[in-house]
Amino acid sequence: MHEDICNLAKDKHVAFIIIPFHKQQTVDGEMQVANAAFRSINQNVLANAPCSVGILVDRGLTGSTHLGASNQVSHQVAVLFFGGADDREALSYAWRMSEHPGISLTVMRFIAGNNAIDPTRVETSAEPNSPTTLTVVTDSDRDKQLDENYIKEFRARTVNDSIIYKEKVVNNGEDTMAAIRSIDNTLYDLFIVGRGQGMVSPLTAGLTDWSECPELGAIGDLLASSDFAATMSVLVVQQYLGNGHGDGLEMPNNPIQHHEQYSNFSSPRPRAQALFYE
């Protein structure tokens, strides 16, 4: 079935596939398997999709009817941003959503505190017993620079919008979990987070040890778990990075361009905003 989904996405030049999580919330708040086959389908779509993918943990979002001042359906959306390609894609899509008058967006960026230990830093001495050290520039360094550039431009472009931007300083996975649990989730209908594939961060250290569903990533798994007492839905986003063979949708490296690509439907071969599969 995943081949049908991926082939349709490729044929239609889809930029984003949204697929349902294999668990649903029961009346008592527990997350139970609704269709076990969905999990293997989701894993295969994540591995083979020709575009970005989102897994939707629906806790009533599709059936909610909050009315705003103008009597139109409205939703409160929050992005939890830790950094990396998936988080930049998640924020890019949320930004696209916020252009709808019924969407209110809050961006919460988690930043490493002074006591955070970065496992990606590699330092070596220039000579034996020398006080001079050489710091190796890693992919993580480049990702951090992309994060900074993106957040800077995002804030500059939305300074006059009603988007709320917050920063939370944490040092480790335990701090991160406590910070997320402190959020008043009754204020939000939807959390959007990046899957964080391949990311090594002190902010999520140890959280993956307890993950029941690795396909959601550390933060997505936490938000979708039964012990996270909440009623908000969750969208976990994985950015398409390409397979090196020129197949699928070629996404620009700059997520600002991703946002513009989501928004631009005037090109000769417009790309569909999203393909929902259920």
pLDDT tens, position by position, 32-88: 888 888 999 999 999 999 999 999 999 887 655 555 555 567 899 999 999 999 999
pLDDT at 228: 72
By CB atoms closer than 10 A (0-12, 13-18, 19+), residue 147 is buried
More confident residue, 78 or 247: 78
pLDDT at res. 79: 98
Domain that includes residue 87, residue range: 2-112+132-276
Give, for 19, the enclosing helix (H) or strand (E). strand 16-20
Residue 224: give its domain's CATH number.
Answer: 3.40.50.620
The answer to whether position 120 is within a domain reads: no
> What is the share, in percent, of the chain residues with pLDDT greater than 70?
74
Residue 199 placed within a domain: yes
User: Is there a domain that residue 212 lies in?
Assistant: yes
268 is a domain residue: yes
Least confident of 137-151, 188-202, 240-254, 262-276: 262-276
Q: Is residue 170 part of a domain?
A: yes
Q: Check residue 206 and give its pLDDT.
A: 84
Confidence of residue 270 (pLDDT cuts 50, 70, 90): very low
The count of domains in the chain is 1
Task: Identify which of 106, 89, 97, 113 has the alpha carbon closest to the alpha carbon of residue 255.
Answer: 89
Rounded to a whole number of angstroms, the distance between the first and last alpha carbons of the chain is 12
Q: Is residue 208 part of a domain?
A: yes
**Res 123 pLDDT > 50:** no
**Is 167 within the bounds of a domain?**
yes
Q: Is residue 201 part of a domain?
A: yes
pLDDT value of position 93 = 94
Classify residue 89 by burial, with Cβ atoms within 10 Å: 0-12, 13-18, 19+: buried
Contact 235, 148 (CB under 8 A): no
